[in-house]
Amino acid sequence: MVGRFGRCLGLLGRRVLLFTLVTVAPIGYAGYLSLFHDEQSGLGFGGTRRVFRGFGNYATALTDPLFLASFRHIALYCLLYVPLMVGGALLLALLLDSALARARRFFQIAFYLPHAVPGLIAAMLWLYLYTPGLSPVLSALDTAGLSWNFFGRDEALLSVVNISAWQWMGYNMIIFFAGLQAVPRETLEAAALDGAGGLRTAFQVKVPAIRPTLVLTVLFTCVGAVQLFDAPQLLQLRATEMGESWSPTMYIFSAAFKGHDYGLAAASALLLALVAGAASYVVTALGNRWRSA
């Protein structure tokens, strides 16, 4: 008994140590950096000195139009991306779960394959497909007498949404399909005996049965959207309307590795974490209310 207690205590200690090293320590160090600012000493020949600014870096970030605009971009991105991706994934899962579906295994793998492509590689592939003179998509549109500028002022946002939806729709479809497979067959048979058709069974029986899965997926999608980086970072090389601070993570990257202002970058990162936490709370609260409805 004592030996088992000792092993449990040792396992708990290792977990606490690991959590401290990978979570608490980085957040604490970021909080420390956010309170300071590196300034050039003398005429720039004497190196840099670290100056305590208190909450000055937070004030700078919160009053910077570029940082505030990055959140507006992400808000518009979420309004388009979350319903499109979640709705598309749910629709595909319902189609695969229907009695008329054939070759389920093939389509599961086919829809999941885009997620197996790393995000940076996926962005590079779509950058090729978006580039005039290289893209077969644009060539086909030109042949049909149509035109589209993937890097335009209004189109750039849609281009980013398309990349993210292409990469994540199949992944979430697999999650929804697994949830649908767990719906009791007796419930579906009872719905059929009551005269419910395929559409009514799908949206009044199956979808309510996987509400917790839907809520969790929306939560993870919103948190991931706030951290968007790969696609806009690559697209801004061609899209003149997408500056280096189009998303909050791009702003943080630019502040740290281009402006070498690590205090501002750390403060911005912590503010982004607060926004992500607030978004998680709102989505969870609304999801719990929907599940209990």
State the first-to-last Cα distance of the chain, in angstroms, to the nearest integer. Answer: 46
In a domain, 38, yes or no: no
Residue 283: pLDDT band (50, 70, 90) is confident
Q: How many domains does the chain have?
A: 1
Percent of the chain residues past pLDDT 90, beyond the cut: 24
Looking at the chain, the whole-number percentage of residues with pLDDT higher than 70 is 91
Q: How far apart are CA 284 and CA 286, in angstroms?
A: 6
Residue 227, in any domain of the structure: yes
Which DSSP category does 205 fall into? I
Domain hosting 157: range is 64-292
Asked whether residue 25 is assigned to any structural domain, the reply reads no
Neighbour-count burial for 36-65, b at 16+ CB within 10 Å, e otherwise: bbeeeeeeeeeeeeeeebeebbbebbeebe
CATH code at position 146: 1.10.3720.10
**Residue 174 within any structural domain of the chain:** yes
pLDDT tens sequence across 211-265: 888 888 988 898 888 888 888 888 886 776 677 788 999 999 999 888 888 899 9
Residue 235 lies in a domain: yes
Residue 38: phi and psi, rounded to 5, are -90, 125
Q: Decide if 263 is inside a domain.
A: yes
Confidence of residue 101 (pLDDT cuts 50, 70, 90): low
Q: Which alpha helices (DSSP H) does the chain contain, by range?
A: 2-19, 25-33, 56-62, 65-97, 104-116, 119-130, 136-143, 155-181, 185-193, 198-201, 207-209, 211-226, 230-235, 248-257, 262-292
The residue among 175, 188, 197 whose CA lies nearest residue 90 is 175
Q: How far is CA 68 from CA 45, 55, 159, 275, 282, in A?
A: 35, 17, 22, 12, 20
- Chain centroid, CA 161 distance in Å: 11
In a domain? residue 93: yes
Q: Are 233 and 250 in contact (CB under 8 A)?
A: yes
